[in-house]
Amino acid sequence: MAKSLRSKWKRKMKAVKRVRYGEKELKRLKSILPNPVAIDVNMSDICTVLPKGALSKNSKPLKDEEGCSQTNKTRSILKKKEISFLKEKQRIAIENNEDEKCSANESMEIDESKRKYHPKKMIDENGNYPIWMNRRAIKKLKEKNRRLSQKTKKNKKKHV
C-alpha cells in the first residue's frame, strides 16, 4: 500500500513536536530535580555497610576502629529518635491488628434499605429511575406511562 502525503506530513510534524517538547520537558525535569552534586549522602549515616560475605552464618561480628563490635555501634546509634520511631510503628501496628480483629469478629452494621421500584413505572419512592437504566429507556418509559395515564383518564370519563 502506498503511503499517503497526509500520513507522511503527520509523521514529520510529530517528529518536530517530539523535538520541541523534548527540550521543554528536559528543562522542566532539570528544574525539578535538585543538583546531584550538591547532595552527598554518606551511606554509613543511613545504614550499616558490610563487606561482601559478612552476613554468612560462620562470620564473626565486625570490629571498627574503636574496637567495638558493629552490633554495639548500631545499637548506640539507634538510641533516641529511631527507638521512639520504632515504638510508634509498633503502636500503630498493634492498633491496626486490633482493628482487624474487631472487623473479623463483628461485621459493621449497615442500614441496607434497598430501593423499591414500581413494577410498571420503574420509579422508586423518590421519583428516581434505577441507576442502570439509560436516558433513552427512561424517555421510552415516560412516554409509555403518559399514554397509559391518558387511557385510564378516558376510561374514567366514560364510566362516570
pLDDT in tens, 64-120: 555 555 555 555 555 556 666 777 777 787 777 766 655 555 666 666 677 788 888
C-alpha to C-alpha distances, 147 to 28, 46, 86, 150, 151, nearest whole angstrom: 63, 78, 72, 5, 6
User: Number of C-alpha atoms within 13 angstroms, CB side, residue 133?
Assistant: 16
Residue 135: per-residue pLDDT: 94
Residue 152: per-residue pLDDT: 87
Q: What's the rounded Cα separation, in Å, for the pair 143 and 121?
A: 10
Q: What's the rounded Cα separation, in Å, for the pair 61 and 75?
A: 13
Residue 48: per-residue pLDDT: 73
Q: What's this model's pTM, rounded to 2 decimal places?
A: 0.29
Dihedral pair phi/psi, residue 46, rounded to 5°: -85, -50
- Res 18 pLDDT > 80: yes
- Res 35 pLDDT > 80: no
For 111, counting Cβ atoms within 10 Å of its Cβ (0-12 exposed, 13-18 middle, 19+ buried), the class is exposed
